[in-house]
Structure 1
Amino acid sequence: MIKLDKFVPYLYLLPALVFLLLVYIPIFQNIGDSLYN
């Protein structure tokens, strides 16, 4: 049996990482667009 205790914190971090990606990707795209223009 794999101990789930080691994986539980990562299960809580995954939604946070996805949320951060969804938030930061448009910001970086806007920064890139403003730099190129």
Structure 2
Amino acid sequence: MGSREPCCFTIGAIEFFSIAFFMYYFQFDFCCLM
């Protein structure tokens, strides 16, 4: 679908958008969460 650079940025955003951001990026960049 398209490479998302700010994938790793989600880790820090999770603090703000814990569920919103997590669920949204979880299906795109799961590798960054690992």
Q: Would you say same fold, with TM above 0.5? A: no
Higher helix fraction (1 or 2): 1
By relative contact order (CA 8 Å, sep 6+), the higher-ranking structure is 2
Quick check: which has more Rg, 1 or 2? 1
TM-score, normalised with respect to structure 1: 0.28
TM-score by length of 2: 0.29
